[in-house]
Amino acid sequence: MIGLGFDIHRLVKGRPLILGGVKIKYPLGLLGHSDGDALLHAICDGILGACGMGDIGDLFPDTDPKFKGIDSAVFIREILAMLSKQKIKVNSIDTIIFAEAPKLGTIKQKIRESVARLLKLSKTKVNIKAKTMEGLGPIGGKKAIASLALVAIKRANKT
């Protein structure tokens, strides 16, 4: 089974930039009720979509004060715990981060390692790509960062 996830957040002053659980040195960060990690949010939605379990807003609404400023890794851990009860595992993920700035070429490997660790996967099962928007739209204008995640899941073998 596969699921597709997408997320976009506005870049603002006064927030840390976090992608895939990695804090990136940059003068702007992603605005969000949680830590604004657009990559982990897209991965959450991809996992939930593959399982037919709605989306991140259903489980962790931005109207709930307990999620204010929360580390998005908590969302991943809670979703994986739910999947474990149903004997479902994430098999692999392929992602794209859309950002004009900062340039992510030298950071992609660190993000890949972080995501693999969070999902309890081998790095060979996690792919992180970065693309610019060639100066077009809010992402190209350095006003936002978006992420897309394709997630494959599998049911554990019955023995």
Contact 44, 38 (CB under 8 A): no
The answer on pLDDT for 116 being more than 70 is yes
The predicted pLDDT at position 13 comes to 97
* Percent share of the chain, pLDDT over 70: 99
Q: Is the pLDDT of residue 159 over 90?
A: no
What does pLDDT average to over the chain? 96
pLDDT of 157: 72
- pLDDT > 70? residue 132: yes
CA–CA separation, 11 and 27 (whole Å) = 9
Q: How many CB atoms within 10 Å of residue 11?
A: 23
Q: How confident is the model at residue 156 (pLDDT cuts 50, 70, 90)?
A: confident
pLDDT, tens only, 6-51: 999 999 999 999 999 999 999 999 999 999 999 999 999 999 999 9
User: Is-contact 125 92, C-beta < 8 A?
Assistant: yes
What domains can you pick out in the chain, each with its CATH number?
Answer: 2-155 (3.30.1330.50)
